[in-house]
Structure 1
């Protein structure tokens, strides 16, 4: 056979082999692509599970440390309401009753319960078993019913924070005395109170109904909560309308020139400015130039409004751009003016996106503490604020103050404050989500 015939005879073999290889290569490439897609999907699922696990660990840690702050240890005392110490010279007018030494009556009750305690130092430690607010409980009862004077009544008063921690199990009584905040003698007094069924645990109404205090058992979250409410009200009233109106003008009406481009660039830059810079601005301008009240929700709301405005503007512009052009064209087609097109057609359809931007901006503002520290909202405020000009603090700052306190009881107060802050954030977001769903449209 000649070389030519051999080549001719070999040609069909090669022609038949080549088409068979192509499907194999194509199928292999497809299998690899599907395998890569499955791996990518798996990586995404693992990332979501890791995020959920971290969130669960965080929440369990916070709740595990903070739920005990919502109940408090109390001590039942039999107090003799001695007329000689309450109704001086037989007077029972409110001024006389208000000025009486009710804490001294509490001390007399403790001395009667522990007659073997005679030294001055031991009695001082004995009196420390109860909170120094115990006298206020008796004062309120006597003012409400002066007929109680001269009788012996049982009052339930708050225990000291160390006794509270011991009763909740946060203090290991098996440790050496030098490593405990309570002495062996105080533990013996505690055991006697337990044996006589004088210790009880109930809902800590003080934590939910009072302001801050240097004493952990008297510290409450209401002052910081109301300060947060007033501050966020000022922020919402200022940032949301101004941000939406600014975005509408820039997106729908402003001419496209260098001036508007410069404004847009500055807005984007302001969204990335550290929050403490806005605090310095509030300190220098709002307090220094305009003389606004220090530590007031009004000033805090103004500072947080400036910080939130860029986020609201950017999100609102994105929501306006997402509205289909056909909506505008149809509105113009029926004779609507540019203002009517925006207000009656574009803005309602962009409301869900606007509310999303509001949620992001207000959530950031709610968790900020650095700018508020600069304007004095870190001050120790006992009274619950009644308006936007009253001195107050906010939940993030209150949590910071409690976290910096050395007492063990403030640890649970810190975690409980975080729980209240998260609940406030969830409630605020729920309202915004409801509004967003209410105006949501599909096309």
Structure 2
């Protein structure tokens, strides 16, 4: 056997995610002149007009293409345009009905297939029977690119829109807001209870069998799989308490149960790290036990408490299994405005997009993972900086 060539190593998963996800941060947009045909546009109900088909027919007419009676060419051209064009054109007519009968320019995203073609994800080398863009459509897309009708820029819709069944219109804003509301509920419940329980167990509770049993149970709860907390939340908060399903309120309550053991353990460790001489000195100066704990011990332990709290919040942010069981995997296109409204979360959005059939959702899945990783990195960096800023050496 001859010598083997150098073995190519598969790229690491962060590299694969970055390579696949960075393309989702750009999008192709088309700017086309549209004649607002009075015969086809209802002044009182402009959203009922099929602007995509109207634009397709006008574009084909400009190119001198003669369509058949079934409108085959216009239908094929229409699939290159996103439904956002229809919404923007209808909104323009609704705001200014005087544009009817005039020719106006409208800018809107291209469809997901057209965008993938411009990004090189769909090529002519693929089997024509399998790819979603025909040779004729590729010619039209090339013509649009040459005459400057199509441009590529930052994908603002990815950060300003909620979820959508159309990949080119899908965004992460709804999931980001849902995750923020969920973490708010988690923090408001878990931090006071966790820190309070840790202070009581470490500084005030009498040592005995009961406190030993509680300590063992807290350590065991920290090791319970997250899906068990999801089952508990489903049974307790939804089936028993009848709280709204798929809401940040229920998600926050479930994640608070998960975060409590971690916060308690981290807080107790920080309190133990404070030298006994601090307590003895405060008591010797006449301070009460309560004053000693809250005026001296707890402030000195606060860097460790904050670190443990932030890390537990970051851990809660990335949890997926409990959210699936409480219904936060459902399709929610809007932006939640309250903790009781249906909402998604970044981990569940990644799960939904990864299981979508459209190819364009795959790059958006990687982009959503990158957004989630950025939040995780920021939270962990904040924990490190706060600890270094306020930590005291004895």
**Pairs aligned (count):** 384
Question: Partners in 2 of 1:202 and 1:152 — Cα distance?
Answer: 25
1:367 and 2:318 correspond: yes
Alignment of 1:413-432 (within 5 A): 413-432=364-383
Question: Partners in 1 of 2:54 and 2:135 — Cα distance?
Answer: 26
- In structure 2, the partner of 1:198 is 149
Q: Is the 8 A contact 2:47 2:87 kept in 1?
A: no
How far is 1:426 from its partner?
A: 2.4
Q: Is the 8 A contact 2:26 2:154 kept in 1?
A: yes
1:116 and 2:66 correspond: yes
1:389–1:125 CA distance, 2 compared to 1 (3 A): same
- In structure 2, the partner of 1:76 is 31
- In structure 1, the partner of 2:287 is 336
Q: Is the 8 A contact 2:307 2:386 kept in 1?
A: no
- In structure 1, the partner of 2:87 is 136
- In structure 2, the partner of 1:125 is 76
- In structure 2, the partner of 1:106 is 55
- In structure 1, the partner of 2:195 is 244
1:61 and 2:11 correspond: no
Q: Is the 8 A contact 2:82 2:111 kept in 1?
A: yes
Q: Please give the secondary structure, in 2, of the residue aligned with 1:117.
A: coil
Calculate the TM-score normalised by the size of structure 2: 0.92
Q: Please give the secondary structure, in 2, of the residue aligned with 1:171.
A: coil
Q: Is the 8 A contact 1:209 1:221 kept in 2?
A: yes
Alignment of 1:86-235 (within 5 A): 86-88=41-43, 95-97=44-46, 99-114=48-63, 115-118=65-68, 119-235=70-186
Per-residue CA deviations over 1:353-373 (Å, capped at 9, x if unaligned) read: 112211331121111000010
Question: Partners in 2 of 1:158 and 1:71 — Cα distance?
Answer: 11
Per-residue CA deviations over 1:43-102 (Å, capped at 9, x if unaligned) read: xxxxxxxxxx99x943332222111111111122210012333354xxxxxx54455554
Question: Partners in 2 of 1:367 and 1:274 — Cα distance?
Answer: 14
How far is 1:178 from its partner?
A: 2.3
Question: Partners in 2 of 1:113 and 1:75 — Cα distance?
Answer: 16
Q: Is the 8 A contact 2:53 2:78 kept in 1?
A: no
Q: Is the 8 A contact 1:348 1:439 kept in 2?
A: no
1:306 and 2:261 correspond: no
Structure 1: stretches of 5+ with no match in the other structure:
1-52, 89-94
Per-residue CA deviations over 1:324-373 (Å, capped at 9, x if unaligned) read: 00110111111111111111111111111112211331121111000010
1:286 and 2:237 correspond: yes
How far is 1:139 from its partner?
A: 1.9
1:320 and 2:271 correspond: yes
Q: Is the 8 A contact 2:52 2:78 kept in 1?
A: no
Q: Is the 8 A contact 1:77 1:109 kept in 2?
A: no
1:432–1:66 CA distance, 2 compared to 1 (3 A): same
Question: Partners in 1 of 2:37 and 2:185 — Cα distance?
Answer: 51
Question: Partners in 2 of 1:272 and 1:110 — Cα distance?
Answer: 62
Calculate the TM-score normalised by the size of structure 1: 0.82
Identify which range, 188-197 or 302-311, moves more after superposition: 188-197
Question: Partners in 2 of 1:223 and 1:109 — Cα distance?
Answer: 36
Q: Is the 8 A contact 1:297 1:390 kept in 2?
A: yes
- In structure 2, the partner of 1:439 is 390
How far is 1:438 from its partner?
A: 4.0
Identify which range, 68-77 or 279-288, moves more after superposition: 68-77
Question: Partners in 1 of 2:192 and 2:379 — Cα distance?
Answer: 17
How far is 1:151 from its partner?
A: 1.1
Per-residue CA deviations over 1:125-172 (Å, capped at 9, x if unaligned) read: 221010122111112223333332221112122111111001011112
How far is 1:116 from its partner?
A: 2.7
